[in-house]
């Protein structure tokens, strides 16, 4: 085989392997690329825009890599050989300049989108937002509805088309709160209250999880975020209020793994604030986990 | 008497025991072989007590290679777990064991493979390329190596005695604090990284002084080989970044040992401070690893395109820009912490700016091939593979530097795929290129090309299969460090592909081991008698292979970049004038300092304070002995030098 055929063969091989590597992707399950809320949708659009803009540089790089390797292979004596040629100001201006311009455009987009998609920034909507307080525990998620006076574990329901104001903390090592289909992600930290504002455009059940290692039961820290109609949501709240026992926080806070969904009545409206505040003062050791 | 150390520390489950036993058996085999071939005296004289940077470089290589194998086994075990641990099945590993695996994998790969490779390259190449006979502080150099080896040793010993940390390789508090992790795991991490980190800092100082003060006459800054420039950038990063690491881990140590609260949220401590500090070291660390790779490729591309490097000045500016920018981007590791929009935007834009000089470097390499005569030797194949993989990694890197995109992929497998693209492409492929390129200089014979090509293709195909599915998995919502997931996620087939990819990478490693064995066996056919097997351009090729202890019989005088290339083409023959050469004598003190450091680290981990104090005093005494030694150098007479030419 001469070098020419070898180069063609190599490129074909790489493309084939690349194809095999993503052969098993289920398009419908690419949750980040199938957004179900305006925040996730905007984040998805940014992915597309930035990818396209970078391809302006990446495609020529791939092309030149293969083409130069092909054309200037050592046995191609017809190609020019200039062993002392080591600069070309015009070319260098181009490859400092073009990427810089692309980055400048991306920079402007970044600045604007950072402000627009700041997780702490409330969504501008006409209807009244729903407030949900989230506590990462060892190793489960506690969702508190202070206005509805209920609390749930590893599951929460909310009406579609309604902005949700999350307040997020942890009574555990740091976790990260992420629902790929609705948008993401913010750290849940002990002694800190983070905010996140999301919305669902349609009904559906979305998988959420913790994205930051928090100890033994970390992998089981998944939950379901269920978007339903307003009426269904109200019915659900009512059923929880009527059929559940009241929340015993001292029991829930005990470390446990792969907890099933659970539903409680909330008796202490200021629970979330107490959880945040308990790290604010020199507290006795009894509050620190085992 | 023995602190926390008791019989329980030696109790492990079957799989952990297998790891422990395999290490013990390996050790016994090595000791047996050493006795069998009666090599103890040889290894003591030629390597263990040697202060010759070329020998120290080889020792770095050995430790880094063993660490690489260990890190890869960790990786394979993780993927096999993820292959099977779906739905009802929970795989073959306990969560705690799995979490130790990924912590050990990250720690090993960054501190003991990456840094080991970087220092191996520096030790071997820097003095030769700058026309020097030695490094600035030969004794310190050996001490640095032993501190590094001690760190690697502590990670390995945790397989047999106790457990390793399970908190992820950057050990965020409060998870790494006393409340959640009272055991020895985090302490193993602390002391292995702390001791190795001090070694790195000392090495950084040493090589910085070497490059600044010991270049041969005529080699002005703008005539230095580009590899030396890359190393200089690396060293500046080491000098500024590693003190941060030492101080941060120091504070974590105080939290854990003296119940202080720098980083735990109660009593006024702040875990966010730790995360900021660790990445203020951690991001420059990424460039500490990859800049030498850039340097290697600059040498390799020019040599095998048989052409001068394109855009030398551009390259230096690009290196400078990367060095500077790498210090003002650390926050991009935690956009999700909730800093303000403007803070996120600033760090995001600084991060994507790094893409510009990095892109410039890639274009310059490609235009070095342009109008060259490209020889597809293994180093060149590694370079081409690097361009393809690293460009994908760079592209996804720019994507993630936009904070709103990062919110959707942070800590997902997309991130894992991104940094493996840049680290495997830049650091690992860079090292393999360097290994094939400089091996004849180290050993005196070339490596087998055919097996090298097989290894390259295994790595390339293995990489694509192992990491492209991870990009998809990240977009499917798969987070890192999971030991179990639901069947409904649809992730399993991709994890299977990824595991197959790792297996193919193992095949590649197998070919590389075979390559070294076969090359040693058939070395007679591949002998490098000229000292210049590749038609090289820089000064190291002006020496015989392997070079004598003193590198250069006569210190060269440099007139131009590509100094050796110019010398070859303008051969001026005049009889060289030989002089007496003074070189450092061997010293047994660095291995002793290493031994005491190991004991110190181990005893601090297990709270055996009396023995820790004893080891510390031991280190001090070693230093006093060294400082009071008078005859630390020996003279090689001009006649002897002439005889060896």
| Cβ <8 Å between B407 and A176 | no
Tell me which residue has tokens 């006076």. Answer: A149
Touching check for B192 and chain A: CB below 8 Å? no
Mutate which of A31, A186, A212 to test chain B, going by most B C-beta atoms within 10 A?
A212
| Cβ <8 Å between A68 and B348 | no
Touching check for B476 and chain A: CB below 8 Å? yes
pLDDT digits (tens, 9 = 90+) for B319-360: 999 999 999 999 999 999 999 999 999 999 999 999 999 999
| Cβ <8 Å between B369 and A68 | yes
CATH number of A130-284: 2.60.40.420
Q: What is the pLDDT of residue B18?
A: 87
Contact B615, B72 (CB under 8 A): no
Of A222-231, A276-285, B252-261, the one with minimum mean pLDDT is A276-285
Tell me which residue has tokens 């700058």. Answer: B130
| Cβ <8 Å between B472 and A22 | yes
| Cβ <8 Å between B489 and A191 | no
The enclosing domain of B211 has a CATH number of 1.20.210.10
The pLDDT of residue B384 is above 70: yes
Cross-strand bridge partners of residue A197: A165
Touching check for A3 and chain B: CB below 8 Å? yes
Q: What is the pLDDT of residue A3?
A: 75
Per the domain annotation, does B449 fall within a domain?
A: no
Q: How far is CA A256 from CA A206, A207, A261, B176, B509, in A?
A: 23, 20, 13, 19, 41
Considering CB atoms only, which of B180, B309, B312 is closest to A173?
B180
Q: Min CA distance, B452 vs chain A (Å)?
A: 16
Touching check for B83 and chain A: CB below 8 Å? no
Q: What is the mean pLDDT of residues B81-88?
A: 94
**Confidence class for position A289, pLDDT limits 50, 70, 90:** very low
pLDDT digits (tens, 9 = 90+) for A95-117: 999 999 999 999 999 999 999 99
Question: Which residues in chain B have Cβ-Cβ distances shorter than 8 Å to A86?
Answer: 307-312
ipTM rounded to 2 decimals: 0.94
| Cβ <8 Å between B175 and A215 | yes
Touching check for A288 and chain B: CB below 8 Å? yes
Q: What is the pLDDT of residue A1?
A: 55
Task: At A67, give phi and psi (nearest 5°).
Answer: -65, -45
Contact B150, B598 (CB under 8 A): yes
Is the entire prediction scored with pTM above 0.90? yes
Question: Which residues in chain B have Cβ-Cβ distances shorter than 8 Å to A279?
Answer: 265-266
Per the domain annotation, does B502 fall within a domain?
A: no
Share of chain A above pLDDT 90, in %: 80
Touching check for A95 and chain B: CB below 8 Å? yes
Q: What is the mean pLDDT of residues B113-127?
A: 97
Q: How buried is B32 (Cβ within 10 angstroms: 0-12 exposed, 13-18 middle, 19+ buried)? A: exposed
| Dist CA A240 CA B448 (whole Å) | 71
Q: Which of B40, B37, B61 is nearest to B49 (CA)?
A: B40
Touching check for A90 and chain B: CB below 8 Å? no
In this structure, what token pair is assigned to residue A188?
């849940």
Q: Min CA distance, B466 vs chain A (Å)?
A: 8
SS3 B215: coil
Question: Which residues in chain A have Cβ-Cβ distances shorter than 8 Å to B464?
Answer: 14, 17-18, 21
What is the H or E stretch that residue A262 is in? strand A262-265
Question: Which residues in chain B have Cβ-Cβ distances shorter than 8 Å to A99?
Answer: 355-356, 359-360
Touching check for B96 and chain A: CB below 8 Å? yes
Domain hosting residue B18, numbered range: 1-304
Q: What is the per-residue burial (b if ≥16 Cβ within 10 Å, else e) of A208-241?
A: bbbbbbbbbbbbbbbbebbbbeeeebeebbeebe
Touching check for B569 and chain A: CB below 8 Å? no
The pLDDT of residue B557 is above 70: yes
Q: What is the per-residue burial (b if ≥16 Cβ within 10 Å, else e) of A3-40?
A: beeebeebbeebeebeebbeebbeeebbbbbbbbbbbb
| Dist CA A100 CA B356 (whole Å) | 6
Contact A175, A212 (CB under 8 A): yes
| Cβ <8 Å between B314 and A96 | yes
**Confidence class for position A285, pLDDT limits 50, 70, 90:** low
CA angle, B178 then B20 then B419, to 5°: 65
Task: Give the count of domains, chain B.
Answer: 1
Q: What is the pLDDT of residue A142?
A: 97
The pLDDT of residue B636 is above 50: yes
pLDDT digits (tens, 9 = 90+) for B128-172: 999 999 999 999 999 999 999 999 999 999 999 999 999 999 999
Q: How far is CA A251 from CA A43, A124, A129, A248, in A?
A: 38, 38, 30, 6
Upper half-sphere CA count for residue B58 (Cβ side, 13 Å): 14
| Cβ <8 Å between B359 and A174 | no
Residue intervals of chain A classified under CATH 2.60.40.420 are 130-284
- Pairing between β-strand A204-210 and β-strand A175-179 as defined by DSSP bridges: antiparallel
| Cβ <8 Å between B309 and A184 | no
Question: Which residues in chain A have Cβ-Cβ distances shorter than 8 Å to B334?
Answer: 187
Q: What is the mean pLDDT of residues B481-492?
A: 94
Q: What is the pLDDT of residue A282?
A: 59
Q: What is the pLDDT of residue A216?
A: 95
**Confidence class for position A290, pLDDT limits 50, 70, 90:** very low
| Cβ <8 Å between B360 and A92 | yes
**Confidence class for position B572, pLDDT limits 50, 70, 90:** low
**Confidence class for position B1, pLDDT limits 50, 70, 90:** confident
């Amino acid at each position: 085989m001469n070098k020419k055929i070898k180069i063609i063969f190599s490129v074909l091989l790489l493309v084939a392997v690349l194809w095999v590597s993503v052969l098993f992707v289920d398009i419908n399950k690419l949750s980040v690329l199938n957004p179900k809320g305006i925040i996730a949708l905007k984040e998805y659009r940014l992915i597309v825009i930035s990818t396209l803009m970078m391809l302006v540089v990446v495609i020529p790089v791939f092309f030149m890599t293969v083409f130069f390797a092909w054309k200037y292979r050592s046995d191609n004596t017809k190609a020019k050989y200039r062993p002392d040629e080591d600069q070309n100001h015009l070319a260098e201006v181009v490859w400092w300049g073009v990427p810089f311009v692309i980055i400048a455009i991306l920079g402007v987009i970044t600045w604007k989108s950072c402000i627009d998609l700041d997780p702490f920034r409330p969504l501008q909507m006409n209807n009244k937002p729903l407030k949900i307080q989230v506590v990462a525990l060892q190793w489960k998620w506690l969702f508190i509805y202070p206005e509805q006076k209920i609390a749930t574990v590893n599951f929460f329901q909310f009406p579609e088309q309604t902005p949700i104001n999350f307040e997020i903390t942890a009574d555990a090592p740091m976790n990260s709160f992420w629902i790929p289909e609705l948008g993401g992600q913010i750290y849940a930290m002990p002694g800190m209250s983070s905010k996140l504002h999301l919305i669902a455009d349609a009904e559906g059940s979305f998988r959420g999880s913790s994205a930051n290692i928090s100890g033994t039961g970390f992998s089981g820290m998944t939950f379901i975020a269920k978007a339903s109609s307003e009426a269904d949501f109200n019915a659900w709240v009512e059923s929880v209020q009527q059929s559940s026992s009241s929340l015993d926080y001292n029991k829930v806070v005990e470390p446990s793994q792969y907890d099933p969904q659970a539903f409680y009545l909330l008796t202490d409206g200021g629970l979330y604030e107490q959880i945040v505040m308990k790290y604010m003062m020199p507290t006795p050791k009894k509050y620190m986990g085992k | 008497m023995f602190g926390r150390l008791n019989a329980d520390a030696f109790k492990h489950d079957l799989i952990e025991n297998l790891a422990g036993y395999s290490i013990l058996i390996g050790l016994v085999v090595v000791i047996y072989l050493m006795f069998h071939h009666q090599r103890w005296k040889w290894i003591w004289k030629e390597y263990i007590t040697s202060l010759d940077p070329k020998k120290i470089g080889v020792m770095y290589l050995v430790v880094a290679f063993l660490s690489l194998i260990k890190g890869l086994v960790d990786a394979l075990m993780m993927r096999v777990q993820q292959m099977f641990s779906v739905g009802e099945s929970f795989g073959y590993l306990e969560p705690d064991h799995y979490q130790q695996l990924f912590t050990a994998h990250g720690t090993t790969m960054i501190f003991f493979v990456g840094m080991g490779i970087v220092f191996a390259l520096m030790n071997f190449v820097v003095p030769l390329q700058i026309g020097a006979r030695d490094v600035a502080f030969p004794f310190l150099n050996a001490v640095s190596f032993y501190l590094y080896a001690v760190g690697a040793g502590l990670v390995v010993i945790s397989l047999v005695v106790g457990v390793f940390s399970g908190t992820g390789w950057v050990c965020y508090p409060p998870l790494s604090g006393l409340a959640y992790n009272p055991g020895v795991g985090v302490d193993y991490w602390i002391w292995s990284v702390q001791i190795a980190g001090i070694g790195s800092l000392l090495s950084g100082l040493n090589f910085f002084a070497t490059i600044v003060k010991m270049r041969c006459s005529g080699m002005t800054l703008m005539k230095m080989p580009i590899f030396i420039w890359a190393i200089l950038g690396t060293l500046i990063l080491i000098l500024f970044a590693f003190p941060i690491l030492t101080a941060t881990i120091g504070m974590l140590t105080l939290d854990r040992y003296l119940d202080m609260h720098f980083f735990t949220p109660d009593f006024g401590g702040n875990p966010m401070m730790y995360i900021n500090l660790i990445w203020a070291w951690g991001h420059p660390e990424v460039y500490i690893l990859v800049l030498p790779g850039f340097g290697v490729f600059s040498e390799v591309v020019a040599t095998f395109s048989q052409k001068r490097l394109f855009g030398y000045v551009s390259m230096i500016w690009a290196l400078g820009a990367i060095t500077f920018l790498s210090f003002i981007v650390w926050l991009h590791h935690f956009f999700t912490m909730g800093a303000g929009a403007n803070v996120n935007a600033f760090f995001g834009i600084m991060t994507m700016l790094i893409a510009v000089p990095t892109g410039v470097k890639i274009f310059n390499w490609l235009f070095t091939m342009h109008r060259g005569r490209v020889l597809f030797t293994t180093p060149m194949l590694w370079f081409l593979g690097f361009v393809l993989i690293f460009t994908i990694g760079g592209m996804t890197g720019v994507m993630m530097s936009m904070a709103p995109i990062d919110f959707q992929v942070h800590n997902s497998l997309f991130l894992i795929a991104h940094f493996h693209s840049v680290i495997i492409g830049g650091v690992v492929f860079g090292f393999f290129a360097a290994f094939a390129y400089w091996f004849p200089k180290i050993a005196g014979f070339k490596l087998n090309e055919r097996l090298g090509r097989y290894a390259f293709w295994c790595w390339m195909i293995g990489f694509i299969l192992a990491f492209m599915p991870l990009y998809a998995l990240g977009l499917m919502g798969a987070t890192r460090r999971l030991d179990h997931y639901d069947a409904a996620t649809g992730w399993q087939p991709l994890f299977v592909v990824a595991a197959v990819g790792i297996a193919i990478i193992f095949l590649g490693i197998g070919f590389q081991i075979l390559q070294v064995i076969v090359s040693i066996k058939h070395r007679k056919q591949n002998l490098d008698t000229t000292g210049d097997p590749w038609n090289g351009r820089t000064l190291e090729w002006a020496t015989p292979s392997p070079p004598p202890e003193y590198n250069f019989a006569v210190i060269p005088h440099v007139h131009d970049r590509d100094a050796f290339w110019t010398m070859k083409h303008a051969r001026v023959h005049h009889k060289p004038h030989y002089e007496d050469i003074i070189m450092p004598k061997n010293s047994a003190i660095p291995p002793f300092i290493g031994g005491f450091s190991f004991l110190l680290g181990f005893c601090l981990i297990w709270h055996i304070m009396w023995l820790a104090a004893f080891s510390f005093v031991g280190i001090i005494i070693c230093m006093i002995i060294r400082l009071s030694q008078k005859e630390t150098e020996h003279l090689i007479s001009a006649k002897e030098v002439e005889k060896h030419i």
